Each structure stands twice: as C-alpha cells, then as structure tokens.
C-alpha cells in the first residue's frame, strides 16, 4: 500500500480509501464486515462514512466491524445534510454538530474520529460559528482533524481565512466529485488546494460505475442486473451518450495496456495534483481486490495524454454530483 499525507498535515492515509455508502444498504452487515476487514488486511486505512449513510446503519456496522481493530483505521465521518425534517436537523450550527458528533461516536463505538467533515456548506450558519465549534471538538479530543465536503473553492478559502484570523484549526481536506467524467474541480478547487495545502478526497471516482465499463454494452443505456442504476433509478440520469462514450474509450485504453478500466481510472485520479486519497465503495470483496490493482499501474506519458484528451470536455462540463442544502 502507498500512503500520503492528508493535505499539509502529518496524518498518513492510504492512497486508496474505502467508501461505505453501501454498508447497510446494498451490502448487508456480514458482507460489509468482510469488505472492511479485507481493506484493513490489505493496508487500506482510510475509512469514510457519514451520519446519514443507510439511515445511520453504515456507522453502526463500522462500529461493530472495527472492534479490536479501531487503531488500524483512519476513521472519517460527516454531518450537515438533513437527518430529518426539523428546523435543527441539518446544517453546521453548533447545536446540530455537537449533537451529531456524539451520535456518530456512539454508533461507531469509539471516543474519537480521526477526520470530522462538514458534509456541505451551510449558507444559514456563520462560518465563524461552525469553525469555532470544530475547533472546540478538536480541543476536547473527540476529533483529530477537520475537513469540508461539497464546498466551492471560494467557500473553503473564506473558511481558511477565518481560521487563520481567529486562530481556529484549519480544514485539512475537502471531498468533491472528481473523476475522468468530472474534472470541474481543476478549474478552481485544485489550484486553491495546492496553494493552501488542503488535501482532495475524490468521491464518485468511477462515476458510479460508468468508468468500469459495466454500461458500455447496455442497449438504450439500460441498467445491467445488480448495477447502481438498477438499485437506484435516479442514477439513470447519468446514463447519457457523452458519459457512456467516455466509459467505452477508457475501456479501450485499458484493454490496450492490459489494465482493467476501473483500475486505470483510479490510478489516473491518484496521480492528479493535491489528491490525498481516493475513496471507492464496494459491495463485495472482489470489487475491492480489483480496485487495489490501481496501485500497481504506472501511467506513461502517452497514455496520460490520451486520457486527458478524451476527458478534456469534462473540465468545463457540469459536476457529476454535488450535494447542497436547499
């Protein structure tokens, strides 16, 4: 396994991380536990979850699975997206964050998280309130590092400015949709992160499976059996010609060089500037085994040029995904 610093911090995280959005949803408790232990056994230490994943089941399952192995994991969770319909059941107010951190710690069966992330920017709460709360969490020992998610570049920069002015702990990382099918972070977010020492944690690195080739031969872009598009009908909005064609081209390049398309796509992303760890989900250990092959790929100049050219239009396209408070 390869390890990298998370942003400018001293925390070492595995280049490939485990996303657990499917735990308790598309992977039951036994399958999720096997996946988590397989990841740890193969050097993956970065485990990412959130308070809302599978209606809190993801955190609960991770808490059970990590018994006796908590020290091996860099455990990251999030709060900020709605957990209910109440006025104080979303956002990044002190009231909500303090409550949700304690709830997450209870489900995760731990007394601290390594990385606590604000799931999305909250336009209704002053950043000073959010950052002061996060600073207090770190001072209390319940949180080691803090991160953002789904923030625009200017929003993170504003937060960093406030932290520097007030002496609060700074955001160490940010999560964003980033892949060959979504290169929009390269316009503003990547330069800002490089300048400010913020590590990027891409989610949807395989564009929900489009970059694995599973949709390449689907007639009329129908959903293959067992795919995300079959279990989540909303995902079908991504099955447009432009995305499918990109998946086909990436598969062609992978075949030419003897790689799998998912391993090639992950390797390309790992080598992008400012990227600290790439989180990828799994519903069975076989998927994780295949994704680990990305660590052995060295993309040469010619292949890198081909991948850049075929995905260039996705720099100026729409983000593949972005989660914001309405």
Residues marked active site are found at 53
Q: Where in the chain does DSSP place strands (E)? A: 3-5, 12-14, 16-19, 46-48, 74-79, 113-118, 143-149, 171-177, 199-203, 278-281
| Alpha-carbon 152 to chain mean position | 15
- In 3D space, the residue among 62, 55, 126, 137 whose CA is nearest the CA of residue 102 turns out to be 137
Distance CA 317, CA 7 (A): 26
Give one word for 38, left, alpha or beta, with left for phi > 0 and alpha for psi -120 to 50: alpha
Three-state helix/strand/coil letters over 213-268? CCCCCCHHHCCCCCCHHHHCHHHHHHCCHHHHHHHHHHHHHHHHHCCCHHHHHHHH
Structure-token pair, residue 106:
């209870």
- How many Cα atoms sit within 13 Å of 29 on the Cβ side? 9
Helix (H, G, I), strand (E, B) or coil at 300: coil
Dihedral of CA 20/24/26/27: which sign? positive
Distances (CA, A) of 235 to 55, 242, 286: 19, 15, 23
> Phi-psi region for residue 129, left (φ > 0), alpha (ψ -120 to 50) or beta?
alpha
Q: Which two tokens stand for residue 234?
A: 């909303």
- Interior angle at CA 149, CA 143 and CA 155, nearest 5: 105
């Amino acid at each position: 396994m390869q390890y990298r610093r998370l942003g400018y911090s001293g925390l070492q995280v595995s280049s490939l991380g485990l996303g657990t959005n499917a735990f308790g949803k598309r992977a039951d408790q036994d399958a999720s536990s096997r996946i988590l232990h397989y990841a740890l056994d193969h050097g993956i230490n970065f485990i990412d979850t959130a308070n809302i994943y599978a209606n809190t089941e993801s955190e609960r399952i991770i808490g059970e699975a990590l018994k006796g192995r908590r020290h091996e994991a860099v455990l990251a969770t999030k709060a900020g997206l709605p957990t209910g319909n109440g006025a104080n059941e979303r956002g990044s107010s002190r009231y909500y964050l303090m409550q949700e951190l304690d709830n997450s710690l209870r489900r995760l069966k731990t007394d601290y998280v390594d990385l606590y992330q604000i799931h999305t920017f909250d336009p209704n709460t002053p950043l000073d309130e959010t950052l002061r709360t996060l600073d207090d969490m770190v001072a209390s020992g319940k949180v080691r590092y803090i991160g953002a998610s789904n923030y625009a570049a200017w929003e993170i920069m504003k937060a960093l400015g406030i932290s520097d002015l007030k002496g609060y702990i700074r955001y160490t990382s940010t999560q964003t949709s980033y892949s060959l099918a979504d290169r929009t972070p390269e316009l503003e977010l990547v330069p800002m992160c490089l300048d400010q020492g913020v590590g990027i944690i891409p989610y949807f690195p395989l564009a929900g499976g489009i970059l694995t080739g599973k949709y390449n031969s689907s007639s009329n872009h129908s959903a293959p059996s067992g795919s995300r598009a079959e279990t989540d009908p909303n995902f079908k909005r991504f099955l447009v010609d432009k995305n499918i064609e990109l998946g086909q081209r990436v598969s062609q390049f992978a075949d030419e060089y003897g790689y799998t398309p998912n391993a090639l796509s992950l390797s390309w992303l790992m080598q992008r500037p400012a990227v600290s760890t790439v989180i990828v989900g799994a519903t069975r250990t076989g998927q994780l085994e295949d994704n680990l092959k990305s660590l052995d790929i060295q993309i040469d100049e010619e292949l890198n040029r081909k991948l850049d050219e075929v995905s260039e239009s996705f720099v100026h396209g729409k983000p593949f995904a972005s989660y914001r408070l309405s």
